Structure 1
């Protein structure tokens, strides 16, 4: 009976002892980083929208095609726009100053005739006044000559006014009709959806014969072969992220490999729904084959240190305590942390043995 009790006691002691893991601090490198998720995007990637509503009549490109800035992506039915443009062209031609030279020439003839009569009446007035000064003729004749001169002067001024006024009207009508033609031509060009960049067509979101509107995208275009990372970082970590920090990413398409990037832009507004900030990062060396919208996981390196005193993070109690081998809790000063390790700045040496209770 006594032997059985001793055996049970040994088993209990052995069981209790097995619940405690032991380790000691070691000197090695440590890197502190923050986690971010994200996707790969093409440089200058954007969704293409139509400026008008209508029916697609042709799509001259397919996914994977490279395009130049201004190349057509989609053609929308525009018969009404064509007719409006033709009508505006007719109006512009009719209102052109060159098409109304006959009207101007007619008024020029009237001006010339009025000027001839004015000169003639002026000479008659001067002659009549000289005669009157010599007591030849009558005052009534002088007055009649003055009246004829004033009438000719008025007629001449009216002829000039009519000519200048017609010229202004023609110039205004020509400019107005020209602008209407420009507007109509621009509206007509809106029925052809074009690329804004030199790039690659990554997606066509509509089919021939479907309707398009100004609210829904019709295609996705971006630079060919030039990609960057769009990351989402938690608001609790954003204050520690800076431009130029290293980023190490992993992709499902490249299992077991990590690729280096660098933070190039931090957007200064938080997404209220996800409570995260958007960060752009550029590849240091781009993977050989990648595509837009591939998902990734990233670690943004905040700081790193060589030859640091390190313990497993799981051995840390209450953030700044450890359990010594003699079951004594000891306060420590911590430094850098990653997901598995923590730096000890004070309170332990490599000779110390620490313990971690089993969960």
Structure 2
């Protein structure tokens, strides 16, 4: 009810003062409805290189602008701890290596072989004494001694066999464990050599030789050398209108007066609670010849476009449904697409009608 009364008052004022108002006629032209966004250029696959260890920068292998590939060394962080740990692990690996412990295995094999031969000999003596005892030759004491001797030598052989197996298993385990420890030490030492994760360009180096670095601050910024993305912020009230593949008209501060075409490629599905915006990414259809990360831009994400639409200034329309003709008549109109200046009229007036343009 309040809106209706306000509309009537506005119309009354416009009608009573139409002599002082400027009048306009609708125009037939193209119109695009779009969402405004702003943001910065980022290199594709751009990332900040961090260290996983603390130390002092010993060597810088690249400079800003250097071309790198995956695995290219960026810088080396000096520390005696990983070097000493690796040397210690290598010594342990050499000591525990199976080839270095063949002497222990041979000793165990000799003991095993001697136990086997003694068992076989005692077995023959026992069988011989057993056959004699069956023929009532010899004494029972001699037979029992041979039987006991064979049983003892058999137990000794089995014990030697078990010791040999345990020793071999232990040596294999020690060798494998020491090699694994050496591999871990090498990996830890490798953490002190920071390498590139992508093919591209070193855009920024944040440290100098001799500087103390930690795990919290980025050491460098690296990204694709030729491919860039537009990262823009879209208000939460507009995000539901945005879809992938929508065209984007881009204006770069570095290329004033020139518009570039792009398309939406990604909508990040979480809102920044502080700015109440969503990050939307787009890629150029016709990119400028030269681009750098962090160049700022403004963009219009085009939701719909219509040719030969009947357009009037947005401030001619009251409550999205009413216009005032130059003769004072109030007309209800149906509106369509709109941009930040003009609005499409679908019905209610023609191109010949003259409308009152309210003064600011």
The aligned length equals 345
Which aligned pairs between 1:247-258 and structure 2 lie closer than 5 A?
A: 247-258=248-259
Which aligned pairs between 1:140-289 and structure 2 lie closer than 5 A?
A: 140-289=141-290
| Equivalent residue number for residue 6 of structure 1 | none
| Equivalent residue number for residue 317 of structure 1 | 318
2:314 paired with 1:308: no
Shift of 1:328: 2.7
How far apart, CA to CA, are the structure 2 residues paired with 1:327 and 1:278? 47
Q: Where does structure 1 differ by over 3 angstroms across 4 or more consecutive aligned residues?
A: 16-19
| Equivalent residue number for residue 124 of structure 2 | 123
How far apart, CA to CA, are the structure 1 residues paired with 2:358 and 2:187? 76
SS at match of 1:288: coil
How far apart, CA to CA, are the structure 1 residues paired with 2:241 and 2:35? 9
Structure 1 unaligned residues grouped into runs of 5+: 1-15
How far apart, CA to CA, are the structure 2 residues paired with 1:75 and 1:19? 76
Identify the range of structure 1 (317-326 vs 159-168) with the bigger mean alpha-carbon deviation: 317-326
Residue by residue over 1:69-116, the C-alpha shift from the partner in whole angstroms, topping out at 9 and shown as x without a partner, is: 111111111222112111110110000111011111011001111111
Shift of 1:18: 6.0
| Equivalent residue number for residue 63 of structure 2 | 62
Identify the range of structure 1 (320-329 vs 37-46) with the bigger mean alpha-carbon deviation: 320-329
Structure 2 unaligned residues grouped into runs of 5+: 1-16
Contact 2:200 2:225 in 1 (8 A): yes
Residue by residue over 1:222-271, the C-alpha shift from the partner in whole angstroms, topping out at 9 and shown as x without a partner, is: 01121110111111111111111110100111111000001111111111
How far apart, CA to CA, are the structure 1 residues paired with 2:244 and 2:307? 22
Contact 1:19 1:357 in 2 (8 A): no
Give me the CA root mean square deviation. 1.3
SS at match of 1:176: helix
Contact 2:66 2:201 in 1 (8 A): yes
Shift of 1:358: 1.2
How far apart, CA to CA, are the structure 1 residues paired with 2:29 and 2:225? 43
SS at match of 1:217: coil
| Equivalent residue number for residue 137 of structure 1 | 138
Residue by residue over 1:146-165, the C-alpha shift from the partner in whole angstroms, topping out at 9 and shown as x without a partner, is: 11111011000111111111
How far apart, CA to CA, are the structure 1 residues paired with 2:125 and 2:46? 84
Shift of 1:132: 1.1
| Equivalent residue number for residue 49 of structure 1 | 50
| Equivalent residue number for residue 30 of structure 2 | 29
How far apart, CA to CA, are the structure 1 residues paired with 2:352 and 2:248? 35
How far apart, CA to CA, are the structure 1 residues paired with 2:90 and 2:79? 16
Shift of 1:17: 5.6
Contact 2:18 2:326 in 1 (8 A): no
How far apart, CA to CA, are the structure 2 residues paired with 1:18 and 1:38? 45
2:90 paired with 1:89: yes
SS at match of 1:62: coil
How far apart, CA to CA, are the structure 2 residues paired with 1:18 and 1:289? 54
| Equivalent residue number for residue 294 of structure 1 | 295
Contact 2:41 2:294 in 1 (8 A): yes
SS at match of 2:165: helix
SS at match of 1:34: strand
How far apart, CA to CA, are the structure 2 residues paired with 1:121 and 1:209? 76
Structure 1 residues 55 and 113, CA, compared in 2 at 3 Å: closer, same or farther?
Answer: same
| Equivalent residue number for residue 101 of structure 1 | 102
SS at match of 1:301: strand
Contact 1:78 1:188 in 2 (8 A): no
Shift of 1:139: 2.0
Contact 1:40 1:293 in 2 (8 A): yes
Contact 2:18 2:356 in 1 (8 A): no
Shift of 1:219: 0.4
How far apart, CA to CA, are the structure 1 residues paired with 2:256 and 2:87? 61
